[in-house]
Amino acid sequence: MPEGWKQVLQDLRNALRSDAPLEEKPSTRDGPDAAEAAEAASHPERDPNAAAEMHADGGTGAAIQGDQVAADAPASSVPTPESPTMPGEAASAAKAQPGPWQASVIVGVLAVAAIIVAAWPMGLGELWAQLTAPKPPTPDVVAVYNGGQITVADFEAHLKALAPQAYTETVRSLSTLRALAREMVADEVARRWAIDQKKDADKNFQHTMEHITEEINLDTFTKQLHNGQIDIPESEIQSYFEANRTEFISQTLTAVREDIRRRLVEERESKYVSDYLSRLKSNASVTRNDDLLNVPEPMANDIRAYYDANRRTYTVTARFTIDLLTVPVTGREQDAKATAEKALLRLRSGADFAAVAREITGTQVITGIEVMPGTEGAAWDTAVSALKPGELSGVLRSHNAFDIVRAVKMELERLQTFEEASPAVEAIVRQKKLDEWMQANGAKTLFTIKNQRYTLGQFYDEYKEFPPETRARFSGKDGFKRLADALIDRLVLVEDTYDQLLQEKNKAAIDQTRLDILKQMLEQQEVDDKIVITDADINQYYEQNKERMALPPRVRIRYIRVGLGNSEDEQKAARAKADEAYKRLSPGLLQQSADFAAVAKEYSEDPDTAANGGELPNWIGESGPFEAPDLHALHEAALALPINGVSQPIPVGDSLYIIQPIERTEPQTLSLDEAKSYIRETLTDEKHRELSAQLQETLAKQINAVFYDSALEAYIKSTGVPLNSESKE
C-alpha cells in the first residue's frame, strides 16, 4: 500500500467509528493557551506536546497492520481546526467552530477525497482488491489449508521440479503461479482422498503405478545410455567429417563435432543395447517354458458349429451409396419443392449434379455418400431401395429437405454365407480358446528372472493391455514368443535401473505422476461419472445453433507438389522449381497460361497424381477419409480461389503445393442425426469444465484453502523477474 495515503485511510476509519460524547470545546475567545490547557486537562495521560505533533503529522498517528487498525488515541481526540480571529469576531467564530462530530465528518470527507485522488492512477478496483486481500500469517506462506501450509520454499522446489528449463519464464506470470499454488493444494486433496478411499490397496492402481515407475526409470536409463555409455573416438568423428564434406560445406569440424558424435551414437546404439541386454540376461539366470505359449488352434468344425449357432448375428445391414442433390426447407415448403423440381428437370436433361448446384441457388450436392435405411424415413427408403445403380429418383421428402437421389451402389439386408462370415467367426472362436487356455494354465511359471517367477497369467494380463493393433502383431505362438522375449528384456532392464538407484533419483517425478493419476481418478468419480447428456439437451443445442451445424463446401482439385528436401540448397532449388511452374500457369497480362495438367505431369513430384494431370480423385473437405492435415490446408486455400484459378506455391509440411480447384459443392447443413455425436461431445466438454471448476472450488472450501497473492508477488520480486501488467490478470 503506498505510504502517501496510508495515514489518510487511518484518519477516515477513526473518524467514521467515533463514539465520543458530544461536548463543547473551549472557545478561542479566551485565547489559544486556554483551549490547549483545557484539551490537555481532559487527557492528562497525553504528552503536552502531543497535539502539536499530531497537527504537524496531519493525522492521528494510526497505522495499518494487515486488516487490523491500531490507534494511538481515541477517535474523539481528532484536533479541531483553528483559525485566528479578530477580537470583534470572537463570538461568531466560537459559534461557527465545529464540534467533535462535525470534525469527524469533515475529516472523513477529506480522507475519502484524498484516497480517491491517491488511488486514481491504479484504479479503485485494484485499490479495493489490495485492501481486502487476505494477508499471509508469515511473509513466506503462499497458501494455508486445514492441517498444513505451502511455503515459498515448498513452492519453489515444486516449480523447479516441474519446469527446470522454463523456470525463469514461468515465474513471469502471476496467473501461472496462482494456478500452480492451487494445483499443490489439489495434490493435498488427492492425497487425503486416496487415503480415505484406500487407493494404494487397489490392484489396478498398483499395477498402473508399477508400469509408470518402470517407464520413468527406463526413460532415464535410456538417456544415460545414449549420452554417456557409447564412446566415439575423435578419429572416427574426423573420418566421418572428411567423408561427408559436401554435406557440411563451409562448416568447421568444431561446429559440427557434437552432431557427428550423436549420429554415430545412434548408429551403434542398437548393437550396444543388444550386447548390454545379453550381459544382463546371462547374469539374471533366465529360464523359460515356451510350451505354455502353444495355444491350440481352432478346428474347422469348431468354427462351423459357432456360425450355425449364431447365424442371425451375421446379417449384412442394408446400405445405399448415392449421389445426393438436396434443397433444404428454410422458408416456404412449396418454394423449396419447386426448386428441387427445377433441378430434377436439369438432371434429366443430362446436366451433372455439380453443374446443377452451381446453376440453381439453394441446392446442395454431396456425392458418393453412404446412407443407412431409417435415416430419412420409410417412404424415402422405399423409393431409394427400388433404384438400380445409375438410376435417378424423383423429388423425395426427407426430414428437413427435398432430395434427388442417384443410385451408385445398393446393398439390401441379407445373411452372410459361411464363407463370408468365416474370418469373423474364426477370430471369435480363437479368442474363446485363448481365454480357456490361459485360465487353465495361468498359474504356471512361464519364465524366471533371478529366481523370481513370472506366470502365464501375468503374461496374458500384459498382452490384454495392448491396443488391438499391437495384439494382432503378437498373435499366435510365434507372436507370443516375441512378446515374451520383449518382456524379459524389459524386466532385466527394469531390474538394472533399480540396482542403479534410479528409482530414488526419479522419486519426485514418480510422486507427482502418482498424484496426477489420483486427481484423474477423483475427477472421474466426482465429475465424469455424473455427466449426463440427454436427447432433449442435444435437440435444444441443435435448434439454438442450427446455423453453425454445417460443413464447408467440398472441393475437387488438381495440384503440383514439389518436395522441399532437407538441406538449405535443396529448399532453394524446390522454391525455384515451384516458382517456375507457377509462372507458366500464371504468366501475366497478354500471355497465354499453360495447361495445368501438362505442367503437373512435368513438374509434380507426386507420382500418384502427376500422371493424371495432378488431379486428386477424392473430394476434400472437413470430414471423411481424406481428412489429412495437408489436405485440410489445401482445402482452405481452394475455397479462397475461383474454379480453375491457380494458387501461388503453398508450403504445407515438407512440400510446396500449387493447386487448382476444378469442382466445388455448396455448404452442407447437417441434420440432427448427423450432428448428434458432435453436439454430444461439445456438451460433454462444456459440462466437464463446469463440474471440474465446481469440484475444485468445493474441495478448496472443504479444507479451508486460502491463497496469498502478496506472497506470490514478493516471491516474483525476489527472483528479479519483472511482474508486468499482463501477468497480473
Q: What is the pLDDT of residues 666-680, one digit of tens each?
A: 777 778 887 888 899
> Which residue has 503453398 as its cell numbers?
650
CA end-to-end span of the chain? 19
SS3 558: strand
Number of structural domains the chain divides into: 3
Q: Report yes or no on 114 lying in a domain.
A: yes
392 DSSP assignment = B
650 DSSP assignment = E
- The number of C-alpha atoms within 13 Å of 165 and in the hemisphere containing its C-beta is 0
pTM of the predicted protein model: 0.48
Q: What is the predicted pLDDT for the residue at 171?
A: 55
Q: Report yes or no on 330 lying in a domain.
A: yes
Q: How confident is the model at residue 442 (pLDDT cuts 50, 70, 90)?
A: very high
d(CA 31, CA 33): 5
- The residues pairing with 659 across neighbouring beta strands, listed in sequence order, are 559
Q: How confident is the model at residue 400 (pLDDT cuts 50, 70, 90)?
A: confident
d(CA 577, CA 526): 59
Between 131-140, 213-222, 593-602, the lowest mean confidence (pLDDT) is in 213-222
Query: Is residue 596 a contact partner of residue 585, using CB atoms and an 8 Å limit?
Result: yes
Q: What is the predicted pLDDT for the residue at 434?
A: 94
Q: Report yes or no on 494 lying in a domain.
A: no
Domain end marker among 132, 147, 175 = 132
476-511: string of b/e by CB count within 10 Å (b at 16+)? eeeebeebbeebbbebbbbbbbeeeebbeebeebbe
The angle that helices 300-309 and 418-441 make with each other, rounded to 10 degrees, is 110
Pairing of strands 414-415, 315-316: antiparallel
C-alpha cell at 577: 522449381
Which residues, 6+ apart, have CB-to-CB distance to 200 below 8 Å? Answer: 194, 206
d(CA 210, CA 113): 65
d(CA 184, CA 451): 42
Query: Is residue 13 a contact partner of residue 69, using CB atoms and an 8 Å limit?
Result: yes
Domain end marker among 390, 415, 440 = 415
Residue length of the chain: 729
SS3 588: coil
More confident residue, 67 or 506: 506
Domain end marker among 132, 149, 183 = 132
C-alpha cell at 525: 468419480
Q: Report yes or no on 672 lying in a domain.
A: no
C-alpha cell at 526: 466426482
Q: What is the predicted pLDDT for the residue at 125?
A: 55
Query: Is residue 396 a contact partner of residue 383, using CB atoms and an 8 Å limit?
Result: yes
Q: What is the DSSP string of 268-301?
A: HHHHHHHHHHHHHHHHHT-EE-GGGG-PPPPPHH
Q: pLDDT digits over 53-108, tens only?
A: 433 343 433 333 333 333 333 333 333 434 444 444 444 444 445 555 455 555 55
Q: pLDDT digits over 381-395, tens only?
A: 999 989 999 999 999
SS3 578: helix
Range of the domain at 399: 315-415
Report H helices in 531-660.
535-544, 568-585, 596-603, 607-610, 629-639
Residue 484: C-alpha distances to residues 38, 213, 430, 435 (Å): 102, 20, 20, 18
d(CA 543, CA 547): 9
Helix or strand run (H / E) with residue 512: helix 507-526
Q: Report yes or no on 606 lying in a domain.
A: yes
Q: How confident is the model at residue 516 (pLDDT cuts 50, 70, 90)?
A: confident
d(CA 600, CA 608): 11
Q: Report yes or no on 285 lying in a domain.
A: no
d(CA 313, CA 333): 42
Query: Smallest Cα–Cα separation from 598: which of 574, 581, 583?
Result: 581
> Which residue has 485522488 as its cell numbers?
117
Q: Report yes or no on 69 lying in a domain.
A: yes
- The residues pairing with 410 across neighbouring beta strands, listed in sequence order, are 320
Q: In what order do the strands lie in the sheet with 141-145?
A: 148-151, 141-145, 706-707
The CATH number given to whatever domain includes residue 569 is 3.10.50.40
Q: Report yes or no on 326 lying in a domain.
A: yes
Q: How confident is the model at residue 520 (pLDDT cuts 50, 70, 90)?
A: confident
Residue 410 reports pLDDT greater than 90: no
